[in-house]
Chain A
Amino acid sequence: MAEEVVLLDFWRSPFGMRVRIALAEKGIKYEYKEEDLRNKSPLLLQMNPVHKKIPVLIHKGKPICESLIVVQYIEEVWNDRNPLLPSDPYKRAQARFWADYVDKKIYDLGSKFRTSRGEEKKAAKKELIEALKLLEEQLGDKTYFGGNNLGFVDIALVPFYAWFKANDAFGPLNIERKCPKFVAWAKRCMQKESVSKSLPDQNKVYEFIVERRKKLGIE
C-alpha cells in the first residue's frame, strides 16, 4: 500500500512539512524521497514540469503539486478519518482564505526579512509581525485554528514556526515577545505527534544554523 503514495520533498521545506503533517494526521503510509534541490531528480522534473518544485505527492503514479492543493487532495481521498477541513461551506471557505493568506504573506515576508537589509528589512519585519498578529486574532481563544483539532490553517501555518527557528530568525524577529499567542499555539501543535514527527531533523537544523552563522561571520 505504501508504494501507492510517494512524497518528493526536501527536509527543510515548510511546504513539504504541510504535506507530511496531513499524511500523518490521516495515518497514511508513504514512501519519502528526499530531493537535492541543486540537482533535481528526473522523477521530480517529470512529475512537476511546470514548477519543478517540491512537495509533489504521487498517488497511484499520478502527481499532485502545490502543498495546499495536496493537503486538500489528501482530505478528499482519505475522507473517512480526521477531517482537516470543516464540513460547512462557509467555514471551509474561511479556512481556504486564511491558508491562502499564509501563502501570500508569511513565506514571502519571511524570505524578504532574511535576505534584505536596512529599511527593506525593517519594513518586512514590521509587515510580518502584523501578519502574525492578524492570524493571532483569527485564532482567538481556540486551541487550534481548526477548533479542537488540527485543521487546514494550522497545517498551513505551523511549518513556518519551525522554519523561522531553522533559519535562526527568532532572535532578530523577536517573535516570542511580539507574538506570544502564535508561539503558544505553535507549541501546542508541536505536542501533536503528526507535527513533531514532521519537523525537520533538529540535529540537521542545528548544523545548518552553525554553517549559516559561519558564512555570515557571526559568532
Chain B
Amino acid sequence: MAKEYGEVQLFGVGGSPYARRVRIALEMKGVQYTYFEEDLRNKSDLLLKYNPVHKKVPVLVHNGKPLAESLVILEYIDDTWGNHPILPQQPYDRALAQFWSRFIDDKCLPAITKAAFTANKEERDNSAEESLEALQFLENELKHKFFGGETIGLVDIAAGFIAFWLPAIEEAVGLKLLSCEKFPKLHKWGQEFTNHPVVKENLPPRDKLVGFFKARYASITASK
C-alpha cells in the first residue's frame, strides 16, 4: 500500500493550523506519511534544506521533492491523489474555492491575529472590525453543510483556523468574534467541521492551544 504513494514526509508543528491542513488532506485521502515535529526555535537542518526560501512549516516532501506553502501543498495533494477530491471539478467552482481560501489566509487570519495580539487598543479594535467584516463574507458564502458542499473541501480545510483556533484565541484573550447570534451558519459549520471524523483526529489538544495563546497575549500586553 505504501508503495502506491511513494515516500511522503511532512514537517510540521503541532499547534500550527497550516500544518494541520496538510495532515487533514493526507488522512482524508488515506495517504501514508511520516510526520516530523519541528521546534521552531531550533529548526532542523532538513527543514532548512527543504524550505530555504521561507524556512517555515508545513513542508511536504514527496519522493525527495519538497513543497512549501499550505495552499500550494493542498492543491498538489489533490492533483496527485485523486480519491476524495478537495477541489471542485469545474473551473469556475475551482476558482471560487481558490478565491475563498486566499481570502481566509490574506484577510481573515491576519485580522483575527491582530485583533487579539496587538498591544495598541485602537489597532486591536480596528482589526476586530475587519475580522467581523471578513467573517460576515464567509457567513454569506456558506450555503451547504460545508463550504465544499456535503463533504469538506479546500475552503473548509483552510477555514479550520476559524473553527478551532479562533475559539481558543477568544478564550485565551477574552475576545468575542464568532458569536452564534451574529454568525449562525458559520458557528454551526465550525461544530460540524471539528466533529468530522478525520478532522477530529487531527486537532491539537485545546487546553495546550489556549495556554499557548494566553502566554502570547501576556507577552504582548506586558511590553506595554
**Residues in A lying within 8 Å of B, measured CB to CB:** 50, 59, 62, 64-66, 69-70, 72-73, 76-77, 89-90, 92-94, 96-97, 100-101, 134
Contact = CB atoms under 8 A, between A and B. Distances in A.
28 contacts: A50-B103, A59-B92, A64-B92, A66-B98, A66-B102, A69-B95, A69-B98, A69-B99, A69-B102, A72-B94, A73-B94, A73-B95, A76-B91, A76-B94, A77-B91, A89-B79, A90-B62, A90-B65, A93-B67, A93-B72, A93-B79, A94-B67, A96-B75, A97-B67, A97-B68, A97-B72, A101-B53, A134-B53
B94 A97 contact: no
B76 interface: yes
Contacts of A62: 92
Interface string B83-105: 00000000110110011001100
Contacts of A92: 76, 79
A72 B92 CA distance: 10
Given A50-B137, A93-B73, 20 more contacts: A64-B92, A64-B99, A66-B99, A69-B99, A69-B102, A70-B95, A72-B94, A72-B95, A73-B91, A73-B92, A73-B94, A76-B91, A89-B76, A92-B76, A93-B76, A93-B79, A94-B67, A97-B67, A97-B68, A97-B69
A72 B98 contact: yes
Contacts of B94: 72-73, 76
Contacts of A134: 53
A69 B69 CA distance: 16
Interface residues of B, number: 22
Contacts of A73: 91-92, 94-95
Which of A62, A70, A73, A134 has the most B CB atoms < 10 Å from its CB? A73
B99 A65 contact: yes
Most buried by A among B69, B91, B103: B91
Nearest to A87: B79
B179 interface: no
A86 B62 CA distance: 18
Count chain B CB atoms within 10 A of each CB in A66, A77, A89, A93 and give the residue with the most: A93
A100 B72 contact: yes
Contacts of A100: 69, 71-72
Contacts of B34: none
B59 to A, nearest CB: 11
A76 B71 CA distance: 18
Nearest to A50: B137
Q: What 8 A-B pairs come out closest when comparing CB atoms?
A: A89-B79, A76-B91, A93-B76, A73-B95, A96-B72, A69-B98, A64-B95, A97-B72
Contacts of A96: 69, 72, 75
A92 B76 CA distance: 8
Contacts of B79: 89, 92-93
B80 interface: yes
A59 B90 CA distance: 14
A62 B102 CA distance: 19
A96 B101 CA distance: 14
A70 B98 CA distance: 10
